Structure formats: structure tokens, C-alpha cells
Structure 1
């Protein structure tokens, strides 16, 4: 390992302790490394603006940072156990190539604001991906909802309740994922603040050009207080995981429906063959493994959020405990986004079994229609309710799923899905 940035003379380093301190940091930093390089370029520009490095030194540093980024992408430079972390690797490379100019790159910053800004840029990318996936899911749902509606039993308490439709089912999840996309955008607004230049949490005795780095890195605003920059670590990561988890909660319920609907007992849905697997012992089986893992994905994101939350039982200021937040953050975001990415194609290609859905609609499922019709005619609703309950077994006489859905004119119901309004909300996010 290269000499740690904090190494001082006559201080012995214990290899076992160093291994524990470093942990998986250098491996996890691969995920944030390019963002760290980008932020380093902006920092160099800011240092040049206040005369800490010369114009020529700044140009050389930025050129070498670009070369490092290219070498990292190509695999020529590998971030590995030779370095304590990604920050050390950047400084070591610049020092090797540029001598004293490389040694000046860390002026006015700490590894604390260095990882904060790299993580913040990475989090913005994750939220952009989340919004993209949620919009794609909503779009797939709206496209299927616009197709001719097929009758589908509506359930409460997992008991047959009222007549519903495939269009209503898709419209419900469309609106949910439009909201999830909106939440991703709102969370971006929350975290879109530049912590670079807050150093170790108390500022430095230099007039750092933080306005320049804020603009250069594409942040909406500066995170002004150095103390709050440290307080926001973990808080902002949790907000991103919560936005992903919110989408996965809707996905979990969607996957639960498909898990039930694909059973022989329901037989409402057929999945594309790529989304099923065979049994290792039972030749007759095709299992909805992908849907089941989509259903389980929320747990990984919720666990990541909980791990970070448990780390935050801390006083103000930086504490090394926060190093452990990187692994859970990375794994939670990666798993959650990978799950959501699979959903649009699944929704576009799943097939409904109309005959099985029609067969599952029984006469008693029209009882609510009967009660409301009587109430609309002037019968007190509780009287109409009791009368409909007594005749529920014959409530379907002369009725069809189509007539029930056609009469359902409340906004959002079977005959007034308002798909145009939902599409307009989605276009606002697309625009």
C-alpha cells in the first residue's frame, strides 16, 4: 500500500490495523472514482482562481486527471489494495506524474468533503436512473391500460370483491410509478447541494471559490455550512434509498399480484418464458423466479437504509463510523435499480387469460353495484346495503362485467380511467 495521506514521522503502522481501517474502501471507491476525479478537476480550477496553483499547474493537473480517468475506464489503471482509498490513489498518481504540483492538489480540502462531493454526484446519477426507470414503467402501464379492457376480479382481503379490469389494474400502477418518478426528482432537489470546500467540517483559512465549484459540478446550490455538510452525510443517502424503496414497495405489490395470478389456481397471467426458470428436480415446473426476486428486492434496499440509520447515532462532526455507509449505499442502490430496470419489458409482454378471469367473476361481485343503484334511487344506503347482502347470490342476474364497468363512472373507475390526465402528468416529467 502507498503511504497513507495522514502518515507522520515516527508513527508505526500496524498492518492488521491498516487492513481493518481500509476494509473494502478501495474496492468500493471504484464506484465513486470517476466522480472523485471530476470533483478534483473543479477543485483545481478553484485553487487556480485564488492563486494557490498557477494557471500552468492547473492545466497540467487537469490534463493528468483526464488521463487517469481514461486509464481507469480502459482498465490500464486499477484501483486496488496498493492504495488506502480512491482519494489516495488520485494524489499518488498526480504526485508521481507532476511532483510538487500533484502535492498541492489537496490544499483546502479533506477526504471528508472529497468523499461527500463524489458521493453526492453519484447519488444524483442514481436518482436520474430511478426517475428514468419509473417513467418507463409508468409508460408501459399506460400503454397496456389503453388497450381494450378485459374483466378482472377485484380483491380485498384476498377475497373476491367487485368487478375490476385489466385497464384499471395497469392504470393504478401507472399512477404509482408517475409519483415514484416525481419523488425521485424531488429527492434530487433535496440533495443537489455542493459540499466541496467544507473541508473536514469547519472550513479553511483560504477564500475558496466555492461558487465556481458549485457551478462547474452542476449543483443547484452550495451547501453553505461546513457543519451541516457533515450532518447531511447519511441523511441524504437515506433519502435516496427511501426514494428507491418507495418505488420497490409498489413493485413488491405488483409482483405479489403476478405471483398469485400465475398460479394454476388463478391462471390469470402467463409470463414471458425468459422470466421463468425450471425446477432442478420437477420436470413439470416453470417457476416465476424473476417475479419472486422482484418482490424480494425491497428487503435489500430497506436493509441498506437501516444499516446507514444505525450508523448515525453520532455527535456532530465527522466520525469514521460513516465509512461503513458506502457499502450498504452502493449495494442498495445497485440492487434496487437493477430490479426496476426489468419491469417495463415484463409488463409489455405478460399475457392475460381472459377466460379464466371471466370464470372467476361470480354473481355476488355485483352486490355493491346493486346497493349503490338503490341508494341513488333514494333508498338509505344502509338499507340498500342490507338488502343487497340478502340477495347477493343472485345480484348478477342480467349483469355482465362490461355493464358493471360501464356504469362505474366515478373519476378513475372503470368508465372514467382518466388515462389522458395520467399521460399528461408523465409528459410533464418527460419534458
Structure 2
């Protein structure tokens, strides 16, 4: 390992302690490394603006930072255990190539600066991906809700309740994922603040050009208080995980439905073959493993959020405890997004089994229609309710699923899904 930036003469580094301190940090930093380089370029420009580095030095530093980014992408430079972390690797590379100019790059900033701004840029990128995925899922649901409607039993308590439809099922998730896209967008606005230039949490005795770094890095605003920059670490990460978890909560319920609907007992849905696997011992089996893992994915994101929350039992100012938040954040975000990435294609391609769905609609499922029709004719609803309950088995006489849905005229229900309103909201989010 290269000598740590904080190493003092005469103090021996214990290998086991160093390993505990570093952990997997340098490996995790691979995910944030390019953002760290981008922020370092903006920092160099800011230092040049206030005369701490000369124009020629700044140009050389930026050129070497670009070369390091290219080497990292190509594999010519590997971020590994030779370095304590990605931040140290950047400074070591610049010093190796440029000597004193490389040694000046850390002027006015802390590694806290570097991880905060690199993480913040990474989070913005991931929220943009989340928004796009939720938008795509909502759009597929809207498109399929507009297909010819098929009858589908509606359940409460997992008991057959009323007549529903495939269009209503898709419309529900379309609106849910529209809200999830909006939440991702709103979270992105909330965290879009530049922490670079807050140093270790108390500022520095230099007139750092924080307005420049804010603009250069594409942030909407400066995170003004150095103290709050430290307080926001973990808090902003949790907000992003909560946005992903919101989408995964809807995905969990969707996956539960599909898991049930693919069973022989329901037989409402046939999945694309790629979304099923075989049994290692039972030749007759095709298992909906992808659906089950999508259903389980919320747990990974919730666990990541919980771990970060537990780390935040801290006073103000930076504490090393926060290093452990990086692994949780990376795992939770990447797992959640990888799960959501599978959903648009799945929803677009699975097939409904119309005969099985029709066969599952029994006469008693029209009883609510009967009771409400009687109430609309002037019978007190509770009297109509009791009469319909007593004659539930005959409630379907002369009725069809289509007639039940056509009579469901309350806004958003079978006759009037108002898909155009959801589409307008979805389009406004992307716009």
C-alpha cells in the first residue's frame, strides 16, 4: 500500500489495524472513482481562480486527471489494495506525474470533501436512472391497460371479492410507478447541493470559489454550511434508498400477484420462459424464481437503509463510523436498480389466460353491484346490503363481467380508468 496521506514520521503502522481501517474501502471506491476525478478537476479550476495554482499547473493537473480517468476505464490503472482509498490514489498519481503540482491538489479540501461530493454526484446519477426506470414501468403499464380489457377477479383478504379487469390491475401500478418517478425526481432536487469546499466540516482560510465548482459540477445550489455538509452525510443517502424502496414496495406487491397468478391453482398468467427456471430434481417444474427474487429485493434496500440509520447515532462533525455506510449504500442502490431494470420487459411480455380468469369469476362477486343498484333506487344501503348478502349466490343472474365493469362509472374504475390523466402526469415528470 502507498503511504497514507495522514502518516506521520516516527509512528509505525500496524498491518492488522490498517487492514481494519481500510477494509474494502478501496474496492468500493471503484464505483465512485470517476466522480472523484471529475470533482478534482473542478477543485483544480477553483484553486486556479483564486491563484493557489498557476494556469499552467492547472492545465497539467486537469490533463493528468483526464488521463487517469481514461486509464481507469481501459483497465490500464487498477484501483486496488496498493492504495488506502480512491482519494489517496488520485493524489499519488498526480504527485508521481507532476511532482509539486500534484502535491498542491489537496490544498483547501479534505477527503471528507472528496467522498461527499463524489457520492453526491453518484447519487444524482442513480436517481436519474431510478426516475427513468419508474417512468418506463409506468408507461408499459399504461400501454397494457389500454389493451382490450379482460375480466380478472378482484381480491380482498385473498378471497374473491368483486369483478375487476386486467386494465384496472395495470392502471393501479401505472399510477403507483408514476408517483415513484415523481418521488425520484423530488429527491434529486432535494439532494442537488454541492458540498465541495466545506473541507473537514468547518471551512478553510482560503476564499474557495465554491460558486465555480457548483456550476462546473452541475449542482443546482451550494450546500452552504460546512457543518450541515457533514450532517447530511447518511441523511441524503437514506433519502435515495427510501426512493428506491418506495418503488420496490410496489414491485413487491406486483410480484406477489404474479407469483400467485402463475400457480396452477390460479393459472391466470404465463411468464416468458426466460423469467422461469427448472428444478434440480423435479423434471416437471418451471419455477418463477425471478418473480420471487423481485419480491425479495425490497429487503436488501430496507436493510441497507437500516444499517446507515443505525450508523447515524453520532454527534455533529465527521466520525469514521460513516465509512461503513458506503458498502450498504452501494449494495442497496445497485441491487434495487438491477431489480427494477428487469420489470418493463417482464410486464410487456407476460400473457393473461382469459379462460381461467373468466372461470374464476363466480356469481357472488356481483353482490356488491346488486346492493349499490338497490341503494341507488332508494333502498337504504344497509338494507340492500343484507338482501344482497342473503341472495349472493344468485347475484350473477343475467350479468357478465363486461356489464359489471361497464356499470362501474366511478372515476378511475372499470368504465372510466382515466388513463389520460395518469399519462399527463407521467409526461410532465419526464418533461
Short-chain TM bin: over 0.9
Deviation digits for residues 100-138 of structure 1 (CA, Å, limit 9, x no counterpart): 000000000000011000000000011001001000100
Corresponding residue of 1:214: 214
Give the SS at the match of 2:105. coil
The question of 1:147 aligning with 2:147 is answered: yes
Whole-Å separation in 2 of the counterparts to 1:426 and 1:238: 25
> Which residue of structure 2 lines up, in the alignment, with residue 5 of structure 1?
5
Could you tell me how far apart the structure 2 residues matched to 1:282 and 1:303 are? 33
1:406 aligns with 2:403: no
Unaligned runs of 5+ in 1: none
What residue in structure 1 maps to residue 52 of structure 2? 52
CA deviations over 1:123-166 (Å, ceiling 9, x no partner) = 00110010010001001101100000000000000000000000
- Report the equivalent of 2:19: 19
* Corresponding residue of 1:33: 33
Tell me the secondary structure at the aligned position of residue 361 of structure 1.
coil
Distance in 1 between residues matched to 2:394 and 2:15, nearest whole Å = 80
Alignment of 1:253-264 (within 5 A): 253-264=253-264
Moved segments of 4+, more than 3 Å: none
CA displacement at 1:426 relative to structure 2: 1.1
Q: Name the residue aligned to 2:297.
A: 297
Between the aligned partners of 1:56 and 1:374, the Cα distance in structure 2 is: 86
Structure 1 residue aligned with 2:124: 124
The corresponding residue for 1:380 is: 380
Alignment correspondent of 2:274: 274
Matched, 1:225 2:225: yes
The alignment yields a C-alpha RMSD, in angstroms, of 0.4
CA positional deviation for 1:430: 2.1
CA distance in 1, matches of 2:320, 2:23: 12
Distance 2:9 2:280 in 1: 61
Q: After the TM superposition, which residues 65-80 of structure 1 pair with which residues of structure 2 at under 5 Å, given as runs?
A: 65-80=65-80
Aligned twin of 2:135? 135
Give me the whole-angstrom Cα distance separating, in 2, the residues matched to 1:188 and 1:140.
Answer: 23
Who is 1:199 aligned against?
A: 199
Q: Distance in 2 between matches of 1:56 and 1:414?
A: 69
Return the alpha-carbon distance in structure 2 between the equivalents of residues 347 and 57 of structure 1: 54
What secondary structure sits across from 1:164 in the alignment? strand
Q: Which residue of 2 aligns with 1:349?
A: 349
Partner deviation per Cα, 1:274-327 (whole Å, 9 max, x = no partner): 000000000000000000000000000000000000000000000000000000
TM-score by length of 2: 1.00
Task: Specify the alignment match of 2:365 in structure 1.
Answer: 365
Q: Using the alignment, how far apart are the partners of 1:175 and 1:106 within structure 2? A: 48
Structure 2 residue 93 is the aligned partner of structure 1 residue 93: yes
| Partner Cα distance (1:50, 1:18) in 2 | 37
SS at match of 1:162: strand
Residue 13 of structure 2 aligns to a residue whose secondary structure is coil
* Distance (Å, rounded) in 2 between the aligned partners of 1:337 and 1:377: 51
SS in 2 for 1:309: helix
3-state SS of paired residue (1:2): coil
3-state SS of the aligned residue for 2:26? helix
Deviates more, 1:377-386 or 1:262-271: 377-386
Q: How do 1:417-428 residues align onto structure 2 when only pairs under 5 Å count?
A: 417-428=417-428
Q: What is the match of residue 236 of structure 1?
A: 236
Correspondence for 1:415: 415
Instruction: Tell me what 1:250 maps to.
Output: 250
